[in-house]
Amino acid sequence: MSEKIKITFPDNSVKEFDKGVSAYEIAESISKRLADEILAAEINGSMKDVTSVLNEDSKVVFHKFDSEKGKEVFWHTTSHMMAQAVEELFPGARFGVGPPIESGFYYDIDSDRKFTEEDLKKIEDRILEISKRGLKPERKDLKRTDAIKFFQSERVDPYKVEILETIAKDEENVSLYSQGEFTDLCRGPHLPSTEKVKSVKLLSVSGSYWRGDEHRQMLQRIYGISFPKQKELDEYLKNLEEAKKRDHKKLGKELDLFSFHEEGPGFPFWHNNGMILLNNLKEYLRSKLVELNYQEINTPIILNQKLWLQSGHYDNYKENMYFTDIDERDFAVKPMNCPGSTLVYKTGMKSYRDLPLRLYEFGLVHRHELSGVLNGLFRVRSFTQDDAHIFCTPEQIEEEVTVLIKLVFDVYNTFGFEDVQVYLSTRPEKYIGSPEVWDNSEKALATALDKAEIKYKVNEGDGAFYGPKIDFVVKDSLRRNWQLGTIQLDFSMPERFGLEYTGSDGNSHRPVMIHRAVFGSFERFVGVLTEHYGGFFPIWLAPVQVSILPIADAHFEYAAQLEKRLRTEGFRVNTDLRNEKIGFKIRESENRKIPYMIVIGDKETDSGNLSVREHKKGDIGKFELNEFIEKLKLQVREKAGYN
């Protein structure tokens, strides 16, 4: 009689199978359709090929293309198919690394041929041909020394040899994957067959130094994307074109929001329009926090290096920090705000009656980022975090997190981010604190999410070493994912800084520190919002809310009176007095994405009524001035959006 093993599924149901059953066979026992759609299996938290055999009780999660991990496997296999296509078309090419990325994949290639657009099309066609061959990637485990011999003799590739010489000890096994005549060094997993890849587009070629070292060989990095269906690729390419139009770097210049200069690489220069955006965001969030009994603080940008040694940032983060000396003492520019908050907490004795203590700070931080990764407002060297640190008792964690979750969703809904994915990250292998504290904290986070009726995914072992966390990922108007908010429990910082409070029992206790951010940083959030709205900000955020367009000089006086009245009512107004035709002025206002335009001619001057145009909609009719003012005030008050 065959020995049985128990397989536990994500819904906690359990089924018995014969020992030696494959992941594919388990899926097939559920439904043939599921077995045909799965791309990989997650077995006890590790991603495996669908052909993997199970010999012990296990937890199994199947991944299709609709999951992030499924997409990673799909794109990873496609990167191997691209390398195979390059090797077949351009013999002699050597390969660096070819990982999946957030959207697609790339491979770094060393070739005498400089790849052109025509070459990319040839490679695409060959990838689809490889797909039709239905090759089944096969894994082979062997000792590192044997793998080195393979890449020195059978398939000569010095880059793979160098990787092997640095990733493992001699006696450790490494894995190679082969599909047809092509073999590559890889951990896997891979698709069960190349025929899963039905559509592919190679997007660009750029230069990339081997291992990011400017003194090493310059390789050609080919970026691509692939999908199981052609219509999915068509939709992606359509969104990609729209994304180019919405690029926040392009719109930031056109709308006069911000700029970057060689005199401060990676440090944004905010213009007046950008400052209006920033200040509106700060005022909005500040109003929400005041309602929740937060206290605003501000801590210094430069603090003694000893603080960063005590917090642990120096040991783990010094490569990303800036340092200076003051009065022959070592100081550092803060990369994070949290140590400063602990010092504020320690300025007086705390009782359990003082908790929870909610401190928030719009704190400017600096981090040294390599020049190659700087990307507009998405990756900068100075930015302002919408930071908060909540000091509470262990018993208060659940309630505080419940309130924070509601805050996050309320804020995101205001901006039209209605599709929010939530992830709960649990205890990693290396952690501080007792398992009991971790278990209780993870349970508190999960209970808070459950009470809020929030669906979430568990990222096992992905918590920070100092505590579990909840991360929030939003989809924008182009269905792109952005990781924004986070709620993190921290047992380390209170311990390192000796934070205490007097409990109801009269004894000293250690508080729990909750780190939370809603936007993440104002800079990055402005970048995300700019692309989300395509630069057409809701009226309450728009740097200019109304443009007044007089047709001729005779209408200037009334236009000036109108501007004064609207400014008195609190609106941001611009009057276009240039000697240009009204059609030109309207187009200019449209290009600047100003929500409302008031056209002033003889009829308007005589009647006192307004002829109003709305961005993207055109003429919306005549309004009496007070009526128009109330319309705008209502939209501002309700934080009206366009999504």
CATH of 546-637, picked from 3.40.190.10, 3.90.580.10, 3.40.50.800, 1.20.1740.10, is 3.40.50.800
* Cβ–Cβ under 8 Å, residues 387 and 519: no
Task: Work out the mean pLDDT of the chain and round it to a whole number.
Answer: 92
Instruction: Provide the pLDDT for residue 436.
Output: 84
- The rounded Cα 60 to chain-centroid distance in angstroms is 27
Question: Whole-angstrom Cα distance, residue 455 to residue 42?
Answer: 20
Instruction: Provide the pLDDT for residue 169.
Output: 59
**Three-class SS state of 287:** helix
Above 70 in pLDDT, residue 351? yes
Q: Does residue 367 have an active-site annotation?
A: yes
- In this prediction, residue 269 has a pLDDT band, given cuts at 50, 70 and 90, of very high
Q: Does residue 190 have an active-site annotation?
A: no
Q: Which span out of 152-156, 162-166, 585-589 was modeled with the highest average pLDDT? A: 585-589
Selection from 186, 173, 170 nearest residue 97 by Cα: 186
Once rounded to an integer, what is the mean pLDDT over residues 324-329? 94
User: Is the domain 258-299+337-533 a CATH 2.60.120.310 member?
Assistant: no
Question: Per the residue annotation, which of 76, 338, 490, 555 is the catalytic one?
Answer: 338
Question: Whole-angstrom Cα distance, residue 49 to residue 200?
Answer: 22
- In this prediction, residue 172 has a pLDDT band, given cuts at 50, 70 and 90, of confident
* Cβ–Cβ under 8 Å, residues 37 and 29: no
Residue 464: DSSP 8-state: B
Question: Whole-angstrom Cα distance, residue 478 to residue 643?
Answer: 12
Q: Where are the domains of the chain?
A: 4-63, 68-232, 258-299+337-533, 300-334, 546-637
Residue 593: DSSP 8-state: T
- The helix, strand and coil proportions of the chain, stated in percent and rounded to the nearest 5, come to 40, 30, 35
Angle at 535 between CA 532 and CA 538, to 5 degrees: 80
| Architecture label for domain 68-232 | 2-Layer Sandwich (3.30)
Once rounded to an integer, what is the mean pLDDT over residues 105-126? 94
**Residue 138 in tokens:** 């096969």
> pTM for this one?
0.80
Burial of 341 (0-12, 13-18, 19+ CB in 10 A): buried
Question: Whole-angstrom Cα distance, residue 356 to residue 52?
Answer: 49
**Three-class SS state of 142:** strand
**Unique residue bearing structure tokens 């310059």:** 218
The percentage of residues in the chain with a pLDDT greater than 70, rounded to a whole number, is: 99
Instruction: Provide the pLDDT for residue 429.
Output: 81
- The rounded Cα 581 to chain-centroid distance in angstroms is 44
Selection from 428, 424, 563, 583 nearest residue 488 by Cα: 424
Question: Whole-angstrom Cα distance, residue 13 to residue 7?
Answer: 8
Instruction: Provide the pLDDT for residue 368.
Output: 93
Question: Per the residue annotation, which of 76, 350, 358, 469 is the catalytic one?
Answer: 469
* Cβ–Cβ under 8 Å, residues 225 and 236: yes
Once rounded to an integer, what is the mean pLDDT over residues 293-310? 95
Question: Per the residue annotation, which of 509, 515, 524, 592 is the catalytic one?
Answer: 515
How far is it between the farthest Cα atoms of the chain? 100
The percentage of residues in the chain with a pLDDT greater than 90, rounded to a whole number, is: 77
Angle at 356 between CA 354 and CA 361, to 5 degrees: 105
Q: Does residue 231 have an active-site annotation?
A: no
Q: HSE-up of 52 (CA within 13 Å, CB side)?
A: 24
Angle at 176 between CA 174 and CA 182, to 5 degrees: 160
Q: Does residue 635 have an active-site annotation?
A: no
Instruction: Provide the pLDDT for residue 104.
Output: 94
- In this prediction, residue 93 has a pLDDT band, given cuts at 50, 70 and 90, of very high
**Three-class SS state of 141:** strand
- In this prediction, residue 315 has a pLDDT band, given cuts at 50, 70 and 90, of confident
- In this prediction, residue 440 has a pLDDT band, given cuts at 50, 70 and 90, of confident
Once rounded to an integer, what is the mean pLDDT over residues 582-605? 95
What's 4-63's CATH class? alpha beta
Question: Whole-angstrom Cα distance, residue 361 to residue 154?
Answer: 59
Question: Whole-angstrom Cα distance, residue 468 to residue 488?
Answer: 6
Above 60 in pLDDT, residue 1? no
CA distances (Å), origin 324, targets 280, 302, 336: 34, 9, 16
Question: Per the residue annotation, which of 155, 334, 366, 367 is the catalytic one?
Answer: 367
Burial of 219 (0-12, 13-18, 19+ CB in 10 A): buried
Q: Does residue 515 have an active-site annotation?
A: yes
Q: Does residue 338 have an active-site annotation?
A: yes
Question: Per the residue annotation, which of 385, 396, 488, 545 is the catalytic one?
Answer: 385
Least confident window among 62-76, 340-354, 429-443: 429-443
Question: Whole-angstrom Cα distance, residue 192 to residue 37?
Answer: 10
Question: Per the residue annotation, which of 49, 108, 157, 387 is the catalytic one?
Answer: 387
Q: Does residue 313 have an active-site annotation?
A: no
CA distances (Å), origin 222, targets 73, 116, 201, 233, 308: 18, 11, 11, 17, 40
- In this prediction, residue 171 has a pLDDT band, given cuts at 50, 70 and 90, of low
The reply to whether domains 4-63 and 258-299+337-533 share a CATH topology is no
Instruction: Provide the pLDDT for residue 641.
Output: 65
Question: Whole-angstrom Cα distance, residue 632 to residue 643?
Answer: 18
Above 80 in pLDDT, residue 215? yes
* Cβ–Cβ under 8 Å, residues 164 and 174: yes
Once rounded to an integer, what is the mean pLDDT over residues 592-614? 94
Least confident window among 36-40, 213-217, 324-328, 632-636: 213-217
